[in-house]
């Protein structure tokens, strides 16, 4: 299972084109949903077995409410989001006091990254008028239309700011300002881990190989072709921007293994945001043994 953002879908395309699923004996049936909340719902209901390359901040919260899930591997360790505005007078995050800012649903990655950026620059949430816009693509459209003063969107528009009539805030680049915030991971239901462990390990190995491949210079043209197929965009500029960002910052977890601190940082953020009541022991939240098995397959 994947969300509709292009990053994970492009990785899936690359893993398929490079034969990684076939190499590890996996024939995946994919389900694409709107956001991480729907990923959790699909896993809990048994509609899907594993979610890959999606925001995982909602997983510990769901486990705290009784969901039988486990985080099983890393994915995108740096946030690919940046704060944008179309208002000339807004050049820094501090300028957002008293302004309208687009966010995603309560508890979403979009909301958390936005608030964490504001807090880092001393802007209290009470000083900002938040508007639940939806996805980062929807937030970008609202910023461009001027219906909100600012909001986070994906890095893929960084080289098209003038064309789109927007600008990134100098201190609003989440991958620089919030390097400790792990944006995505892979997680599965305990039932699937018990009954389909071998297949899940194969999926993780296939994506692990895709992480390695997309992080290498030779992936450029296949990445852009996959980007075109996934997004339908004939203009390659956004795909080029995203690929260049990957090459520069190397954001994918080539080790597959999330640390206790990475998991607990997300948990602490959840507690601060009221998404979960307490920080759970890592053993209740994660099972990295599948990632270790996948690494052995990849060796």
User: 136, 159, 177: which is the final residue of a domain?
Assistant: 177
User: 155, 177, 199: which is the final residue of a domain?
Assistant: 177
3-state class (DSSP) for residue 7: helix
**What percentage of the chain exceeds 70 in pLDDT?**
100
Q: Are strands 100-103 and 129-132 parallel, antiparallel or unpaired?
A: parallel
pLDDT at 196: 96
DSSP H or E segment with residue 187: strand 185-189
pLDDT at 32: 85
The pTM score is 0.94
pLDDT at 97: 97
The pLDDT of 138-162, averaged and rounded, is 97
Instruction: Give Cα 27 to chain centroid, integer Å.
Output: 24
Residue 292 has pLDDT above 80, yes or no: yes
Query: Based on the domain organization, do 92 and 23 belong to the same domain?
Result: no
**What percentage of the chain exceeds 90 in pLDDT?**
86
pLDDT at 71: 98
Query: Based on the domain organization, do 56 and 105 belong to the same domain?
Result: no
pLDDT at 218: 98
Structure confidence at residue 234 as a pLDDT band (50, 70, 90): confident
Give the total number of structural domains in the chain.
2
Query: Based on the domain organization, do 119 and 260 belong to the same domain?
Result: no
Q: CATH no. for residue 270?
A: 3.40.190.10
Q: Would you say 143 and 153 are in contact if contact means Cβ atoms under 8 Å apart?
A: yes
pLDDT at 154: 95
Query: Based on the domain organization, do 262 and 287 belong to the same domain?
Result: yes
Structure confidence at residue 30 as a pLDDT band (50, 70, 90): confident
Query: Based on the domain organization, do 46 and 108 belong to the same domain?
Result: no
Residue 135 has pLDDT above 90, yes or no: no
Structure confidence at residue 61 as a pLDDT band (50, 70, 90): very high
**What are the backbone angles phi and psi of residue 46, rounded to the nearest 5°?**
85, 5
Tokens of 214: 């997309």
Residue 211 has pLDDT above 90, yes or no: yes
Query: Based on the domain organization, do 17 and 140 belong to the same domain?
Result: no
The pLDDT of 165-174, averaged and rounded, is 98
Tokens of 174: 């989440």
Query: Based on the domain organization, do 141 and 261 belong to the same domain?
Result: no
Structure confidence at residue 212 as a pLDDT band (50, 70, 90): very high
Residue 4 has pLDDT above 80, yes or no: no
pLDDT at 104: 86
pLDDT at 1: 79
The pLDDT of 250-254, averaged and rounded, is 97
Instruction: For residue 155, give Cα distances in angstroms to 9, 62, 160.
Output: 16, 29, 10
Query: Based on the domain organization, do 293 and 220 belong to the same domain?
Result: yes
Structure confidence at residue 255 as a pLDDT band (50, 70, 90): very high
pLDDT at 2: 87
The pLDDT of 98-105, averaged and rounded, is 94
The per-residue pLDDT of the chain, averaged, comes to 95
Query: Based on the domain organization, do 203 and 279 belong to the same domain?
Result: yes
Question: What residues make up the domain containing 148?
Answer: 81-177
User: 133, 161, 177: which is the final residue of a domain?
Assistant: 177
Residue 123 to residue 282: CA distance in whole angstroms: 31
Query: Based on the domain organization, do 126 and 213 belong to the same domain?
Result: no
Query: Based on the domain organization, do 7 and 113 belong to the same domain?
Result: no
Query: Based on the domain organization, do 49 and 186 belong to the same domain?
Result: yes
The pLDDT of 280-299, averaged and rounded, is 97
Residue 43 has pLDDT above 80, yes or no: yes
């Amino acid at each position: 299972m994947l969300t509709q953002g292009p990053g994970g879908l492009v990785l899936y395309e690359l893993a398929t084109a490079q034969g990684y699923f076939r190499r590890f004996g996996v024939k995946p049936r994919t389900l694409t949903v709107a956001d991480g909340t729907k990923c959790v719902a699909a896993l809990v209901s048994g509609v899907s077995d594993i979610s890959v390359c999606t925001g995982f901040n909602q997983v510990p919260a769901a486990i705290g409410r009784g969901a039988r899930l486990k985080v099983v591997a890393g994915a995108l360790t740096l946030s690919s989001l940046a704060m944008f505005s179309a208002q000339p007078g807004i050049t820094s995050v501090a300028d957002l006091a008293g302004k309208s800012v687009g966010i995603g649903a309560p508890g979403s990655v979009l909301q958390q990254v936005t608030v964490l950026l504001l807090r880092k620059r001393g802007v209290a949430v009470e000083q900002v008028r938040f508007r639940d816009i939806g996805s980062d693509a929807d937030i970008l459209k609202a910023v461009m239309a001027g219906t909100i003063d600012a909001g986070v969107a994906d890095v893929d528009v960084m080289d098209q700011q003038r064309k789109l009539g927007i600008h990134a805030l100098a201190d609003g680049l989440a991958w620089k300002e919030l390097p400790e915030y792990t944006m995505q991971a892979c997680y599965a239901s305990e039932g699937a881990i018990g009954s389909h462990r071998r297949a899940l390990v194969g999926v993780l190995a296939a994506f692990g190989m895709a992480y390695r491949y997309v992080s290498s210079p030779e992936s450029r043209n296949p990445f852009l072709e996959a980007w075109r197929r996934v997004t339908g965009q004939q203009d390659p500029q956004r795909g080029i921007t995203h690929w260049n960002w990957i090459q520069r910052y190397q954001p994918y977890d080539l080790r597959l293994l999330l640390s206790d601190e990475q998991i607990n940082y997300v948990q602490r953020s959840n507690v601060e945001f009221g998404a979960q009541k307490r920080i759970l022991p890592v053993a209740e939240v994660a099972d990295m043994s599948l990632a270790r098995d996948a690494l052995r397959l990849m060796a």
